[in-house]
Amino acid sequence: MRRVRPAGSARCAWVALSGGVDSAVAAALALDSGLDVVGVTMRLGVSEHLDEAVVGASAEVAGVLGIPHHVIDLSAPFEESVVRPFIDSYVRGETPNPCVLCNDHLKFGVLSGAAVRAGADVLITGHYARIDDHDGLLVLLRGMDTSKDQSYFLYRLVGARLDRLCFPLGGMRKSEVRKIALERGLPSADSTESQDVCFLTGSDAASFLAAKGVAPRVGEIVDMSGEVLGTHDGVWRFTVGQRKGIGVGGGPPLYVVAIDADRARVIVGPADACNVRNVTARDVVWDGPDGELRIQAQVRYRATPQPGNAVLCDGVLSVCFDSPVSGVAHGQSLVCYEGDRVIGGGYLMEAS
Q: What domains can be seen in the chain, in order of their start residue? A: 12-200 (3.40.50.620), 216-273 (2.30.30.280), 275-351 (2.40.30.10)
9 — pLDDT class (breaks 50, 70, 90): low
Contact 131, 139 (CB under 8 A): yes
C-alpha dihedral (264, 252, 96, 16), degrees to nearest 10: 150
Q: Which residue has the higher pLDDT, 2 or 158?
A: 158
Q: 76 — phi, psi (to 5°)?
A: -70, -50
Per the prediction, the chain carries an average pLDDT of: 93
Q: How many CA atoms lie within 13 A of 300 on its CB side?
A: 14
End-to-end Cα separation, the chain, in angstroms: 49
Q: Which residues are catalytic?
A: 102, 198
196 — pLDDT class (breaks 50, 70, 90): low
Q: Is the pLDDT of residue 1 over 50?
A: no
pLDDT in tens, 127-160: 999 999 888 889 999 999 999 999 999 999 998 8
Helical ranges in 124-213 per DSSP H: 174-183, 205-211
Q: Running DSSP on this structure, what letter comes out for residue 239?
A: -
H-helix or E-strand spanning residue 141:
strand 137-142
CA distance linking residue 351 with residue 274, whole number of Å: 10
Q: 10 Å Cβ neighbour count for 243?
A: 12
C-alpha dihedral (324, 330, 333, 339), degrees to nearest 10: 10
**C-alpha distance from residue 59 to each of 31, 237, 332 (Å):** 16, 38, 34
pLDDT in tens, 45-78: 988 888 999 999 999 999 999 999 999 999 999 9
3-state secondary structure of 253: coil
CA distance linking residue 234 with residue 232, whole number of Å: 6
Q: 190 — phi, psi (to 5°)?
A: -110, 20
